[in-house]
């Protein structure tokens, strides 16, 4: 795309679009695709701004606007979702829905917009789903036990630059759920494994490593996520480019944990 | 009636105040802590850290957030880093220097005792975060890396790529999740606080009224203490770098229940944001200030060159105005100064891009000096973000940036204990007013949020609760709560029953435009008076002509927005009133009548104080109270970055 500096912004024009949007009044209701048209959408608008335009149009016509989750609109909070033409976040590499801009669409395009489809993510309304299953998994082990105030000096624990970088690569996960939505089995392996890899690339994460892996994998299964059958759609859909390597790390640890992990909760606190 | 503003700052030398306070603060018997219910509203760095830490101590905590998970609070969007006086770089940093820089950077409008404590606990924050697995950047030897950040001459900023806020918040979220998992914190995502309940007999906060955003159900929750950590009010301007959900509702409704609101006019405009591209624009995206370490800010010297491609403008025809005007700080000048300088260039017709509202942030020289790979290593994710949004490649064409509303230094007035003027109601993080004065330095917001949540409230809340009997828990089915529920329901019904012609967003945009023009980067008696005439008219129109479709007992995003915009329409007036009375320029508050050669001119004789506004009822004039600020340790001086 060439930069036109007389207008100061790269080649602006407007689009007319036909949208097919999933409408569902609440969790128990039956949903359906509804077709709308929007016109005059600037190619510089973001995808969510295009939906804002649609909603303003609906409100003006006395129709309830389309519910969709969003918050930071800069690709970091993980609140936005949406299957766009069958791909989570629209399928552009390393891009969340809020960062997807209309310049990638053409005038006259038809766009299908649906919520995440996964057993563990029930629809709340229209395009909003309930992702609290992720929180439940994290609450079983996605942390390092370190009460406030109990930490040694930060430089007492040396972390090689390489380990810190690999930890950060996994920690970049925004918990949006695209990996689950992309997976034919609705599996959360990439999400769970990313959290484990973030902690397990660091020395601080080692003491609880096997227990954590076992607890989170168990919670993941209990939350209704499917199993991994190595499609790696998750990796392709991840807006933060989390590598599937994290899954291999998790599987190794899980196998080890089955062999050696003791249930620490069944042991005494050390006093007896 | 006027507010009683006792700051409760400890006496004695400033270096010893916090340690002596920690000894003097009363303790709650460990066996009794579980009998105390504490409500935390907000789950960002301040609220999440408070909820987790208080639960670790044994309190019975309930935490509310409007997002679908506490992991999404807006702290997550902070990019650049977090300050701490570790002096790991051996470059002359110390607790005293961080204290000094923060007081001076805040243009002498913060309370010294609070700021010194902040600088002291900053070092503990880094230790705590590292222990919790925050993947901070490292040197090859394995020690922590630092960078220098806007307005500082030492390298004291710790960071995790350009996602420091995200990583710190995920640390907080992990601690919070651990407490949720063991049942010590009850978490309520997708909920919104719509009122604080205060017992008129004792004057104490006794609970909150909450709306479940999925079902629309209104429920009261009683507690021995309520902590608000609900962030800033930058979205009063509609366009800001804040997340779309950020709002003033919790703090404004607390104000209406008796909490003093301090310095509402102190708002921070961040100099490096991606400029507005059109009227559909829904938010502005920040480009981390760290970019100013290597990027050079310039505009064409001649207005005739603004439409030219930047490559065709030779160095001799470029004005690197920050380097020219502020030679010792140059491109790293503090935010308020860099923002105003950009506005000045654009006002004079040298701005670039749509509407002439932009300046260049150019990496050409850094790329020539260090190579593209080195620049990509440092800023790759930011450059990618810029390209996704603008469609332009910043390795080839200079970025265009423009200032945008970013942070609010004003907030609920709190004393040294972080308690508001309502006993039992505490306020942490951006939502309070305390530490940044009239201007916040880069990488200090994360520091303050975590200081308040991890290391301060855990001491001061205990002191308060030690004076409250555990059995004195209010009854959430009692008449005080019922009355508050009726008020809240009536307001929601009113919003859904207007059924006018204009959408909520259209009002919000109009208010934002009005505030940006009249109470933005430059304010004058005339502009503020004009805003004060227009805001009530817009508010009347809102209540006559807004349309909120759908019902209040269901998931209704329009209704959520409508409630928040209704509060902004009242709060904006308070901002303008505060700005009008403060007849001086200080930090982010720039009154055009008060300047010397374009620089802010403080008036310490008349305004060396925090202005604390007191609500006096529907339609009543709020009262302006004063907390005088005394500077015993940092000498009042004119800020100079030249």
The domain spanning residue B388 has which CATH number?
Answer: 3.90.700.10
- CA distance linking residue B105 with residue B269, whole number of Å: 14
Rounded distance between C-alpha atoms, residue B113 and residue A142, angstroms: 37
- The pLDDT tens digits for B76-90 are 999 889 999 999 999
C-beta atoms of A202 and B135 within 8 A:
yes
At residue B381 the predicted structure's pLDDT band, cuts being 50, 70 and 90, is confident
Q: Is B178 a catalytic residue?
A: no
Chain A residues close to B177, C-beta within 8 Å: 135, 138-139, 142-143
For testing the chain A interface, which of B68, B393, B554 should be mutated: the one with the most A CBs within 10 Å? B68
B59: distance to nearest CA of chain A, Å?
14
Rounded Cα–Cα distance for residues B154 and B148 (Å): 6
Q: How many CA atoms lie within 13 A of A18 on its CB side?
A: 5
What is the rounded average pLDDT of the residues B194-218?
98
SS3 B609: strand
Give the pLDDT score at B400: 97
CATH number at residue B549: 1.20.58.100
- The reply to whether B86 and B225 lie within a common domain is yes
Distance of alpha carbon B150 from alpha carbon B127, whole angstroms = 23
**Residue B219 located in a structural domain:** yes
- Residues of A with CB below 8 A from B311's CB? none
Residue B630 reports pLDDT greater than 60: yes
Mean pLDDT of B287-302: 92
**Do residue B505 and residue A52 have CB atoms under 8 angstroms apart?**
yes
User: Considering only CB atoms, which chain B residues are within 8 Å of A74?
Assistant: 77, 283, 285-286, 385
Name which of A72, A195, A212 is nearest B170 in CA terms: A195
b/e per residue, B491-506, with b = 16+ CB within 10 A? bbeebbebeeebbbbb
Distance from C-alpha of B411 to C-alpha of B83, rounded to nearest angstrom: 22
User: Does pLDDT of B63 surpass 70?
Assistant: yes
Query: Is it the case that residue B480 has pLDDT exceeding 70?
Result: yes
pLDDT tens digits, one per residue of B220-243 = 999 999 999 999 999 999 999 999
B293 in Cβ contact with B461 (< 8 Å): no
Task: Using the structure block, give the residue that is written with the tokens 């994360």.
Answer: B446
Is B280 within 8 Å of A49 when comparing Cβ atoms? yes
CB contact under 8 A, B555 and A67: yes
**Sheet of B623-628, strand order:** B411-412, B261-262, B609-614, B623-628
Please give, rounded to a whole number of angstroms, the shortest distance from the CA of B398 to a CA of chain A: 11
**Given the DSSP bridges, would you call strands B359-362 and B399-408 parallel, antiparallel or unpaired?**
antiparallel
Q: Both tokens of residue B241?
A: 């770098």
B81, B141, B376, B111: which is closest to B263 by C-alpha?
A: B111
Among B71, B72, B156, B335, the active-site one is B335
Torsion of CA B270, B274, B276, B282, to 10 degrees: -90
Q: What is the mean pLDDT of residues B275-300?
A: 92
Q: What is the largest CA-CA distance in chain B?
A: 75
Instruction: Kindly determine whether residue A149 and residue B128, on different chains, have CB atoms separated by under 8 Å.
Output: yes
Q: Considering only the beta carbons, identify the residue of B69, B132, B384 that sits closest to A146.
A: B132
Half-sphere exposure of A101 (CA within 13 A, CB side): 22
- For residue B458, give the chain A residue with the closest CA: A148
Q: Are residues B284 and B360 in the same domain?
A: yes
Instruction: Look at residues A154, A267, A148, A152 and name the one whose alpha carbon lies nearest to residue A211.
Output: A267
Residue B165 tokens, joined: 């806020």
pLDDT of residue A266: 52
- Judged by CB atoms closer than 8 Å, whether chains meet at B138 and A160 is answered as yes
3-state secondary structure at position B593: coil
| Beta-carbon separation of B503 and A59 below 8 A | yes
In this prediction, residue B288 carries a pLDDT of 84
Taking the C-alpha atoms of residue A200 and residue A170, their distance in angstroms, rounded to an integer, is 10
Cβ-based neighbours of B129, under 8 Å, separated by 6 or more? A154, B82, B136, B168, B171, B450
Structure tokens at B461: 């809340």
Which chain B residue has the Cα nearest residue A129? B68
- Do B126 and B192 reside in the same domain of the chain? yes
pLDDT of residue B150: 66
Q: Which residues contact B505 (CB under 8 A, 6 or more apart)?
A: A52, A56, B561
**Would the CB atoms of B170 and A171 count as touching at under 8 Å?**
yes
| CATH fold group of domain A131-266 | Fumarate Reductase Iron-sulfur Protein; Chain B, domain 2 (1.10.1060)
* Strands B399-408 and B267-273, bridge-based pairing: antiparallel
Contacts of B49 (CB under 8 A, 6+ apart): A148, B172, B175, B449, B450, B452, B453, B454
Q: Is the ipTM of this complex over 0.90?
A: yes
Residue B5 lies in a domain: no
Using an 8 Å CB-CB cutoff, list chain A residues near B304: none
Residue contact B400–A139, C-beta within 8 A: no
Interface contact A45-B280, CB threshold 8 A: yes
Region B627-641 average pLDDT: 90
Mean pLDDT of chain B: 96
The residues, ordered by sequence, that sit 6+ positions from A168 with a Cβ below 8 Å of its Cβ are A198, B135, B160, B161, B167
Among the partner residues B76, B160, B458, nearest to A76 by beta-carbon distance:
B76
Which of A136, A146, A150, A264 is the best substitution to test chain B (most B C-beta atoms within 10 A)? A146
Nearest-by-CA chain B residue for A103 = B391
Over range B582-588, report the average pLDDT.
96
d(CA A21, CA A63): 14
Host domain of residue B348:
271-404
Residues on chain A touching B142 (C-beta within 8 angstroms)? 158-161
DSSP code at position A187:
B
pLDDT in tens, B483-529: 999 999 999 999 999 999 999 999 999 999 999 999 999 999 999 99
Could you tell me if B456 and B523 lie in one domain? no
Residue ranges of chain A whose pLDDT lies below 70 = 1-11, 261-272
Please name the residue of chain A whose CA is at the shortest distance from the CA of residue B128.
Answer: A151
Pick the residue of B50, B156, B246, B391 with the most A CBs within 10 A to test the interface with A by mutation: B391
Chain A residue with the nearest C-alpha to that of B173: A143
Spatial contact of B232 and B431, defined as CB atoms under 8 Å apart: yes
Lowest mean pLDDT among B93-97, B147-151, B394-398: B147-151
State what percent of residues in chain B have pLDDT above 90: 91
Which tokens hold the place of A168?
Answer: 């950060």
Q: Three-state SS for B69?
A: coil
Residue whose token pair is 């759609």: A233
Q: Residue B377: what pLDDT?
A: 84
Q: Which of B49, B127, B178 sits opposite A154 (nearest CB)?
A: B127
pLDDT at A6: 38
Q: Compute the count of residue pairs across chains A and B with CB atoms less than 8 Å apart.
A: 248
The strand pair at B205-212 and B218-222 is best described as antiparallel
Do B326 and B429 belong together in one domain?
no
Residue of B nearest to A60 (CA): B501
Residue with the two structure tokens 């196998």? A255
From the list A132, A143, A164, which residue is nearest B175 (CB)? A143
CB-based contact B234:B407 (threshold 8 Å)? yes
The distance of B316 to chain A (nearest Cα, Å) reads 20
pLDDT at position A5, please?
A: 40
Taking the domains of chain A in order of start, what are their residue ranges?
14-125, 131-266
pLDDT digits (tens, 9 = 90+) for B342-369: 999 999 999 999 889 999 999 999 999 9
- Cα of first residue to Cα of last residue in chain A, in angstroms, is 70
Place of tokens 């503990």: B124
Question: Which alpha helices (DSSP H) does B286-411 contain, by range?
Answer: 321-325, 335-347, 364-370, 372-390
Chain B residue numbers with beta carbons less than 8 Å from the beta carbon of A62 are 549
Distance from CA of B251 to the nearest CA of A (A): 20
* Other Cβ atoms within 10 Å of A218 Cβ, number: 14
Which chain B residues have a beta carbon less than 8 Å from that of A192? none
Let me know if residue B638 belongs to a domain.
no
Which of the residues B56, B71, B145, B287 would you substitute to probe the A interface, choosing the one with the greatest number of A C-beta atoms within 10 Å? Answer: B71
Test A154 with B458 for CB contact under 8 angstroms: no
Q: Which architecture does CATH list for A14-125?
A: Roll (3.10)
CATH of the domain at B162: 3.50.50.60
Token couple for B629: 């600020």
How far A261 CA sits from the closest chain B CA (Å)?
Answer: 20
Question: For tokens 């006027």, what's the residue?
Answer: B2
Searching chain A, which residue's CA lies closest to the CA of residue B307?
A6
pLDDT at A11: 64
Chain A residue numbers with beta carbons less than 8 Å from the beta carbon of B52 are 148
Of the candidates A73, A149, A158, the beta carbon closest to that of B142 is on A158
pLDDT of residue B642: 75
Give the integer Cα–Cα distance in Å for B248 and B341: 29
Q: What is the DSSP letter of B125?
A: H
Report phi then psi at B74, rounded to 5. -70, -15
Res B434 pLDDT > 90: no
Q: What is the tally of structural domains in chain B?
A: 3
Return the residue of A nearest to B247 by Cα. A71
Cα separation, A190 vs A38, in Å, equals 36
């Amino acid at each position: 795309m060439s930069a036109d500096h007389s207008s100061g912004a790269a080649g602006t024009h407007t689009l007319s679009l036909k949208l097919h949007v999933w409408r569902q009044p609440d969790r128990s209701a039956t949903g359906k695709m509804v077709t709308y048209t929007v016109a005059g959408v600037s190619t510089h608008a973001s995808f969510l701004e295009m939906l804002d335009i649609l909603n303003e149009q609906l409100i003006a016509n006395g129709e309830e606007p389309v519910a969709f989750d969003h918050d930071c609109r800069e690709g970091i909070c993980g609140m936005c979702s949406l299957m766009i033409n069958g791909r989570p976040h629209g399928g552009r590499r390393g891009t969340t829905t809020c960062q997807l801009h209309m310049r990638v669409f053409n005038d006259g395009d038809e766009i299908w917009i649906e919520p995440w489809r996964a057993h563990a993510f029930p629809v709340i309304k229209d395009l909003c789903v309930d992702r609290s299953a992720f929180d439940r998994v994290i609450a079983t082990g996605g942390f390092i036990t370190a009460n406030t105030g109990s930490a040694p000096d930060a430089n007492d624990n040396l972390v090689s630059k390489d380990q810190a970088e690999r930890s950060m690569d996994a920690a970049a996960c925004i918990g949006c759920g695209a990996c689950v939505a992309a997976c034919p089995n609705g599996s959360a392996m990439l999400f769970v494994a990313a959290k484990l890899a973030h902690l397990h690339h660091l020395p601080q994460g080692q003491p609880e490593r096997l227990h954590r892996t076992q607890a989170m994998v168990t919670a993941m299964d209990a939350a209704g996520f499917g199993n991994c059958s190595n499609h790696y759609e998750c990796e392709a859909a991840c807006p933060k480019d989390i590598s599937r390597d994290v899954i291999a790390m998790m599987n190794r640890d899980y196998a080890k944990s089955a062999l050696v992990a003791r249930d620490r909760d069944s042991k005494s606190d050390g006093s007896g | 009636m006027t507010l009683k503003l006792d700051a409760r700052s400890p006496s004695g030398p400033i270096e010893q105040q916090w340690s002596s306070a920690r000894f003097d603060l009363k303790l709650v018997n460990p066996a009794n802590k579980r009998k105390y219910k504490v409500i935390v509203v907000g789950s960002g760095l301040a609220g999440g850290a408070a909820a987790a830490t208080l639960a670790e101590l044994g309190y019975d905590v309930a935490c509310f957030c409007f997002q679908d998970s506490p992991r999404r609070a807006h702290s997550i969007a902070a990019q650049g880093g977090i300050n701490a006086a570790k002096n790991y770089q051996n470059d002359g940093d110390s607790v005293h220097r961080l204290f000094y820089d923060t007081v001076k950077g805040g243009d002498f409008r913060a309370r010294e005792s609070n700021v010194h404590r902040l600088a002291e606990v900053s070092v503990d924050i880094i230790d705590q975060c590292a222990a919790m697995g925050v993947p901070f950047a490292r040197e090859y030897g394995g020690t922590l890396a630092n960078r220098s950040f806007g307005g500082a001459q030492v390298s004291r900023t710790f960071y995790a790529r350009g996602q420091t806020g995200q990583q710190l918040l995920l640390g907080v979220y992990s601690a919070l999740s651990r407490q949720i998992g063991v049942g010590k914190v009850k978490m309520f995502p997708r909920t919104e606080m719509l009122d604080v309940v205060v017992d008129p007999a004792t004057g104490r906060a006794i609970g909150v009224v909450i709306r479940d955003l999925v079902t629309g159900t209104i429920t009261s929750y009683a507690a021995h203490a309520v902590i608000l950590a609900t962030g800033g009010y930058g979205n009063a301007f509609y366009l800001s770098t804040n997340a779309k959900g950020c709002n003033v509702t919790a703090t404004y409704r607390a104000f209406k229940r008796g909490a003093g609101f301090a310095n509402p006019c102190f708002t921070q405009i961040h100099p490096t944001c991606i400029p507005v591209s059109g009227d559909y624009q829904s938010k502005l995206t920040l480009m981390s200030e760290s970019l100013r370490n290597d990027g050079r800010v310039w505009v064409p010297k001649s207005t005739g060159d603004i439409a030219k491609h930047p490559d065709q403008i030779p160095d001799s025809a470029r004005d690197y105005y920050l380097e020219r005007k502020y030679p010792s700080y140059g491109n790293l000048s503090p935010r308020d100064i860099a923002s105003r300088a950009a506005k000045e260039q654009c006002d004079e017709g040298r701005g670039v891009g749509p509407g002439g509202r932009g300046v260049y942030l150019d990496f050409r020289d850094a790329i020539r000096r260090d190579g593209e790979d080195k620049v990509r290593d440092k800023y790759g994710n930011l450059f990618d973000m810029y390209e996704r949004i603008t469609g332009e490649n910043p390795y080839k064409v200079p970025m265009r940036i423009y200032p945008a509303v970013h942070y609010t230094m004003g907030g609920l007035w709190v004393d040294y204990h972080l308690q508001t003027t309502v006993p039992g109601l505490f306020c942490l993080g951006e939502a309070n007013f305390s530490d940044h004065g009239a201007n916040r330095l880069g990488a200090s917001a994360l520091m303050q949020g975590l200081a308040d949540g991890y290391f301060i409230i855990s001491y001061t809340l205990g002191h308060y609760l030690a004076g409250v009997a555990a059995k004195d828990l209010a009854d959430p089915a009692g008449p005080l709560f019922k009355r508050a529920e009726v008020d809240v329901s009536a307001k929601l019904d009113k919003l859904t029953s207007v059924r006018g012609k204009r959408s909520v967003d259209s009002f919000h945009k109009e208010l934002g435009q009005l505030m940006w023009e009249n109470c933005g980067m430059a304010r004058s008696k005339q502009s503020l008076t004009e805003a004060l005439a227009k805001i009530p008219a817009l508010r009347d129109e809102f209540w006559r002509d807004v349309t909120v479709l759908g019902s209040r007992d269901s998931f209704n995003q329009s209704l959520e927005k409508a409630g928040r915009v209704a509060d902004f329409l009242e709060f904006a007036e308070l901002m303008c009133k505060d700005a009008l009375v403060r007849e001086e320029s200080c930090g982010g508050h720039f009154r055009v009548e008060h300047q010397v050669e374009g620089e802010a001119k403080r008036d310490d004789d008349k305004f060396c104080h925090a202005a604390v506004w007191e609500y006096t009822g529907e339609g009543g004039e709020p009262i302006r109270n004063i907390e005088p600020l005394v500077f015993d340790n940092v000498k009042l001086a004119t800020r100079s970055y030249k």
